[in-house]
Amino acid sequence: MDTQSTLDFSDAALWVAGVDEVGRGPLAGPVVTAAVILDPAQPISGLADSKALSEKKRGILFDEIQIKAKAWAIGRAEVEEIDKINILQATMLAMQRAVAGLALQPGHVLVDGNRCPELPCTAEAVIKGDGKIPAISAASIIAKVTRDREMVLLDAEYPGYGLAGHKGYPTKAHMAALQRLGVTPIHRRSFAPVRKALTRGKN
């Protein structure tokens, strides 16, 4: 539903969580989600779609959200889960984990995109919600900073692929590294470019 909810987001009796994901498209690494319940008494200025913010600004907001939010939590699905149940289902699972991890359980959840996972409360999908709804913007920032920092660490563990730069996405440099160096344990074998690299390695 490409509309904002008619719920009163300032009503403290009904906590509303924003949920977003990062990492559906990459060839490597986990898909990471976040759920955030903002505190109306502690507004955070500058919230926006994480992709529209600089790395420095995301880092500043990441810290501020953790301090000011009523509750926040990370959910994730690992490469093995992505390969087993597919990226869409893994993303839904990671979102469920994020919501379940909240210290306050929300009465309603707003999810960026066009579908919602099954949750123990009402939920609403909001297309481009990360640019419209502050709680979803906050979730997108928490998820992106978390995943980006993890990919930097993985770059040190698996050098030569450029993970710190492209964060696992299928850039030309990443595709070339797959052909040159082969497939690592953090690559998603269910994704076509990785499957092709595995096939080449067997020939």
Q: Which segments of the chain are extended strands (E)?
A: 16-22, 31-37, 71-77, 108-112, 122-126
Tokens of 145: 């900073």
Query: What is the pLDDT averaged over residues 31-49?
Result: 96
Q: Residue 41's domain is classified under what CATH number?
A: 3.30.420.10
pLDDT for 135-194, tens place per residue? Answer: 999 999 999 999 999 999 999 999 999 999 999 999 999 999 999 999 999 999 999 999
Q: What total number of domains does the chain contain? A: 1
Rounded to 5 degrees, φ, ψ at 39 are -105, 110
Q: Does residue 106 fall inside a structural domain? A: yes
Would the pLDDT of 202 be above 70? Answer: no
Distance of alpha carbon 160 from alpha carbon 31, whole angstroms: 22
> How many residues are given for the chain?
203
pLDDT for 85-114, tens place per residue? Answer: 999 999 999 999 999 999 999 999 999 999
pLDDT for 73-88, tens place per residue? Answer: 999 999 999 999 999 9
Can you give the residue range of the structural domain that contains 137? 16-159
Q: Does residue 77 fall inside a structural domain? A: yes
Mean pLDDT computed over every residue of the chain: 92
